[in-house]
């Protein structure tokens, strides 16, 4: 049986005090849109921290984007401007020409380790081992 999780609100937290003050100040007892977005963000953060998933991620990322805009000194509702990038056909050809399709491998550059390396006397040099390896190839 899974334990039932409970969301607890700390009424002494400065953010909760500020939201309550804004709620009391409003004439219709509703929060303004920015404050409501912040309340939703806090709720979604609590869900994530408690191990739950968010059914609609855009409900979290939308207000988060607005908060990031404000943090960077932009308008809260600043639209995202799409940028078009033009790629000329010549640039594509130059890139494909500079990358070889097949890489050449020189067999003489390859080194094969000898399985009986541990049984060899310690005084033997690597040059003799390398020459033996090349002879085997």
Q: Is residue 58 part of a domain?
A: yes
Q: Which domain holds residue 44?
A: 32-78
Q: Is residue 1 part of a domain?
A: no
Q: Is residue 14 part of a domain?
A: no
Q: Is residue 132 part of a domain?
A: no
**Spatial separation of the C-alpha atoms in residues 45 and 48, rounded to whole Å:** 5
Residues 6+ apart with CB under 8 A from 66: 34, 37, 76, 77
Which token pair is 75? 């308008």
Q: Is residue 103 part of a domain?
A: no
Residues 6+ apart with CB under 8 A from 120: 114, 129
**Spatial separation of the C-alpha atoms in residues 85 and 95, rounded to whole Å:** 17
Q: Is residue 92 part of a domain?
A: no
Q: Is residue 38 part of a domain?
A: yes
How many domains is the chain built from? 1
Q: Is residue 4 part of a domain?
A: no
Task: Report pLDDT digits (tens) over 14-59.
Answer: 998 998 898 888 888 888 888 888 888 988 988 888 888 888 888 8
The answer to whether 59 and 36 are in contact (CB under 8 A) is no
pTM above 0.85, yes or no: no
């Amino acid at each position: 049986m899974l334990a039932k999780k409970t969301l607890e609100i700390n009424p002494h937290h400065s953010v909760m005090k500020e939201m309550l003050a804004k709620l009391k100040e409003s004439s219709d007892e509703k929060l303004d849109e920015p404050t409501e977005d912040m309340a939703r963000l806090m709720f979604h953060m609590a869900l994530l921290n408690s191990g739950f998933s968010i059914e609609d991620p855009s409900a979290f990322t939308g207000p988060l984007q607005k908060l990031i805009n404000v943090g960077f000194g932009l308008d809260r509702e600043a639209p995202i401007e799409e940028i078009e990038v033009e790629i000329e056909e010549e640039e594509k050809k130059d890139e494909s020409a500079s990358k070889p399709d097949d890489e050449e491998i020189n067999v003489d550059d390859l080194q094969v380790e000898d399985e009986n390396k541990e049984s060899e006397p310690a005084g033997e040099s690597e040059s003799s081992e390398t020459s033996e390896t090349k002879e085997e190839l």
